[in-house]
């Protein structure tokens, strides 16, 4: 009887190797401990696996949001311009450099969106919401949301966030917080001025309309501003350069 052919030995060796490897692998799905994914496990507990929030609940999706916008929010939470106990507590002993890296990690993720939930709005709410988003209300000094956040409302890199795919409760809470001063951005804080010009019914209509929108084919932020912003906004490089 002839001895085992070379390929048979190879097969034996391969099986042995893969058996060893399978044994060495943890029986659970664990990210590489040195990776950024492993370092931000504390974030995804609320913001969903890989920063992709589910549509139930409050926590906003952070995957794919513009990097500078996310970095600024992390600074705001750490330094008390935004108030949310869990965020402030987690970030209080982290450096600017590391927060910038965390922001970049989530900004670089391009993950599919879950289906948009259906929110019941009255025809009047739909109309008012769409009007404020697309046109604004010049008489009251309210620019259209789309004039800064992009015509497709997916945001503009690097500092203007998209407005789609966010829970309505989250949108309501942000506009409310800006009105009462518990959410602040760098001066001049344009969103604070806009939120203070909105009344409660405006906010409800805008948040409902935005949360109802289907996601466009590409949800990545537009690459750069192509036109001047209607207001001065702190933390937006192009707008700051213009001043």
Partner 1 sequence: MKRLLVSLGSLLTVGLLLLALVIGLNLRGEEPIRQTEPPAVLDAALVERGRYLALAGNCASCHTERGGAPFAGGHGIPTPFGTVFAGNLTPDEATGLGRWSADHFWRAMRNGRSRDGRLLYPAFPYAHYTLLTREDSDALYAWLRSLPPVEQDNKPHELRFPVNTQAALAVWRALFFSPERFEPDPSRDAAWNRGAYLVRGLGHCAACHAERNVLGAPTGRFEFGGGLMPVQNWYAPSLSQADEASVADWPVEDIVALLRDGVSPRGSVLGPMAEVVFRSTQHLSEPDLAAMAAYLRSLPQQPAQEPAPAESTAAASPARAMGQRLYEQHCVQCHGEQGEGVPGAWPALAGNRTVTMASPANLVRILRHGGYLPATAGNPRPHGMPPFGHVFNDEEMAAVATYLRSAWGHQAAPVSALEVFRYR
> Contact residues for partner 1 (CB under 8 A)?
26-30, 33-34, 38-46, 78-81, 86, 88-95, 97-98, 101
**3-state secondary structure at position 143:** strand
Closest approach of partner 1 to the CB of residue 87, in Å: 10
DSSP 88-142: HHHHTT--HHHHHHHHHHHHT---PPPPPPP----HHHHHHHHHHHHTEEGGGTE
Closest approach of partner 1 to the CB of residue 88, in Å: 8
Cβ atoms 155, 163 nearer than 8 A: yes
Q: Which CB, 11 or 49, lies closer to partner 1?
A: 49
Closest approach of partner 1 to the CB of residue 103, in Å: 13
Closest approach of partner 1 to the CB of residue 53, in Å: 13
Helix (H) or strand (E) holding 13: helix 6-24
Q: Which CB, 17 or 38, lies closer to partner 1?
A: 38
Q: Which CB, 48 or 143, lies closer to partner 1?
A: 48
Q: What is the CA radius of gyration of the chain?
A: 23
Q: Which CB, 36 or 215, lies closer to partner 1?
A: 36
What's the CA gap between 25 and 22, in Å, rounded?
Answer: 5
Q: Which residues have CB under 8 Å from 167's CB, separation 6+?
A: 53, 55, 56, 57, 58, 59, 60, 211
Closest approach of partner 1 to the CB of residue 36, in Å: 8
- Structural tokens at position 62: 């952070």
Q: Which CB, 5 or 28, lies closer to partner 1?
A: 28
């Amino acid at each position: 009887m002839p001895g085992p052919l070379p390929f048979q030995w190879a097969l034996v060796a391969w099986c042995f190797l893969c058996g060893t490897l399978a044994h060495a692998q943890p029986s659970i799905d664990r990210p590489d401990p040195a990776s950024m994914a492993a370092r931000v496990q504390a974030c995804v507990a609320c913001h969903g696996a890989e920063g992709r929030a589910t549509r139930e609940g409050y926590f906003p999706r952070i995957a794919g949001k513009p990097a500078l916008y996310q970095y600024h929010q992390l600074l705001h939470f750490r330094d008390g311009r935004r108030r949310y106990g869990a965020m402030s507590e987690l970030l209080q002993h982290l450096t600017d450099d590391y927060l910038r890296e965390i922001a970049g990690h989530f900004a670089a993720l391009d993950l599919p969106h879950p289906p948009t939930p259906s929110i019941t709005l009255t025809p009047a709410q739909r109309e008012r919401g769409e009007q404020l988003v697309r046109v604004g209300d010049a008489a009251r000094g309210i620019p259209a949301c789309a004039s800064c956040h992009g015509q497709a409302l997916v945001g503009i890199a690097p500092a203007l966030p998209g407005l789609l795919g966010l829970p309505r409760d989250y949108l309501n809470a942000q506009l409310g917080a800006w009105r009462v001063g518990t959410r602040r951005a760098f001066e001049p804080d344009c969103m604070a001025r806009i939120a203070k010009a909105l009344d409660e019914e405006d906010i409800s209509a805008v948040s409902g309309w935005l949360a109802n929108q289907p996601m466009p084919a590409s949800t990545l932020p537009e690459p750069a501003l192509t036109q001047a912003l209607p207001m001065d906004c702190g933390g937006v490089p192009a707008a700051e350069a213009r001043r």
